[in-house]
Structure 1
Amino acid sequence: MPSQQDYGGHDMFDAHEALSTLTGGLEQYLLYEQHIQDQELMAMAQRHRAFCTQLYNTIVETFKTGQDPTVKTQSYEMQQNNNVVYGMQPSAPKTPSQSVNELNDECLSGFMLGSLKSTASAFTMTALEMTNPVLRRIFADSVPNMIEMAYEVFLYQNKNQYYQVPQLQQQDMQTFQNSFAPVQGQMPH
């Protein structure tokens, strides 16, 4: 069984940074929830915060002990469907808000997405070189959960036209799709 000493200095720095990123996200969500208007977005933010709080406790316990946590890594289940709206609709040019009162659900969901993307990146970087196998697995197993939460926010933004998805012309898409081909012949061993 790994002991508390099964960490290198690099592990300490990376785990500390990943935990700090997660902590910052949790604290930011507290701020966002004060301003969210849409009940669907509020429910999503509260689910994310509850899930990430449990994950935080799991990581902290393992970081301190080097052992399997009391509460194992969970799997986040998003509640959005996978329908993406393609195409662009004209909208007014965006400018930065000049007052907290100008922050709206579009801004707040964008902040949520940014926070989740940062956490996914921090967890990925930490998992790549962690010497403690238990903590490495927790960070690695948590990346798909950050991805799922971020994707859920993206889908919410897309359906509300906050995040528009342009498409290429069919001919251009096919050119991209046909720009790679499978390797032919015997595969190397």
Structure 2
Amino acid sequence: MNQQNQEQMQINQGNEGMQHMNHGGHEIFDMHEVMSGMIGALEQYMMFRQHVKDPELLDILNRQHQFILSQYNITAECFRTGQKPSQETATYMMKQDRQFVYGLKETQPKKPKQSPEAIDDACISSFMLGLLKSCTSALAMAAPEVTNPVCRRVLADQIPHYIEMAYEVFLYQNKHGYYQVPQLAPQDMQKMLSAYAPVQGQMQMPPNKGAGQQGPIH
């Protein structure tokens, strides 16, 4: 083997060994924030489990915990190696019926619970929804600025599934009266729905004055 081939092999081996380093600095911090959020959700779900009373909410919590854990492992693997993970990102399948209860009912004013024993399913489902929305936001904020193509895809692919989990909790809360959905008066609703109209034809874009022009040469 001549010297040129030996040098090329060393370069290739070095590139293979550096695959896990193909991340930008800003991306590293974003990935840490995303993965810390996932860990926080997993740990808090584990804490919530012992307080859940409704079997339906417990089923949601268990299925979501399992899904978040699987996606955390995939994210950690591709972040560590810079390579395609050994498993594909999964699809979360919710069980809730997509039916809403509209309107407001008389309820007692809310105030902070005064003892751990007062924490109920309404509280826990609200905590779950907040965690899922935070994770969704972190994923959506990080994905557009990730330089590693594998990590970018893994983050982006998870966003709709976190939305689905949050939506499932929202539907559960609405069904049980924990999250009430008011509506506008019909005439106000119609005015709001008619507030925007589609664009007809093509928009007239102004010319780009800077294209092809050069500044003064000093």
TM-score normalised over the length of structure 1: 0.97
- Is 1:50 the equivalent of 2:50? no
- Is 1:134 the equivalent of 2:150? yes
Structure 1 segments of 4+ aligned residues over 4 angstroms from their partners: none
How far residue 4 of structure 1 moved from its aligned partner, in angstroms, is 1.3
- Is 1:119 the equivalent of 2:156? no
SS in 2 for 1:134: helix
SS in 2 for 1:49: helix
How far residue 186 of structure 1 moved from its aligned partner, in angstroms, is 2.6
How far residue 188 of structure 1 moved from its aligned partner, in angstroms, is 6.8
Matching of residues 1-189 of structure 1 within 5 Å: 3-186=19-202
Aligned length: 189
CA RMSD across the alignment: 1.4
SS in 2 for 1:4: helix
How far residue 87 of structure 1 moved from its aligned partner, in angstroms, is 0.5
CA distance in 2 between counterparts of 1:30 and 1:162 reads 22
CA distance in 2 between counterparts of 1:56 and 1:188 reads 47
Q: Which runs of 5+ in 2 are unaligned?
A: 1-15, 206-218
CA distance in 2 between counterparts of 1:41 and 1:59 reads 26
CA distance in 2 between counterparts of 1:137 and 1:100 reads 41
CA distance in 2 between counterparts of 1:187 and 1:40 reads 51
Task: Report the residue type matching 1:65 in the other structure.
Answer: T
Task: Report the residue type matching 1:64 in the other structure.
Answer: R
Bigger Rg over Cα = 2
Identity over the aligned pairs, expressed in percent?
50
CA distance in 1 between counterparts of 2:55 and 2:73 reads 27
CA distance in 1 between counterparts of 2:104 and 2:76 reads 43
Task: Report the residue type matching 1:3 in the other structure.
Answer: Q
Deviations 1:51-104 (A, max 9, x none): 000000000000000111011101101000100110110000011011110000
CA distance in 2 between counterparts of 1:151 and 1:17 reads 23
CA distance in 1 between counterparts of 2:204 and 2:93 reads 39
Q: Which runs of 5+ in 1 are unaligned?
A: none
CA distance in 2 between counterparts of 1:186 and 1:21 reads 44
SS in 1 for 2:106: coil
With a CA cutoff of 8 Å and minimum separation of 6, indicate the structure with the bigger relative contact order: 1
Q: In the superposition, relative to structure 1, how do residues 188 and 4 fare at CA in structure 2: closer, same or farther (>3 Å)?
A: farther
CA distance in 1 between counterparts of 2:40 and 2:92 reads 19
How far residue 5 of structure 1 moved from its aligned partner, in angstroms, is 1.9
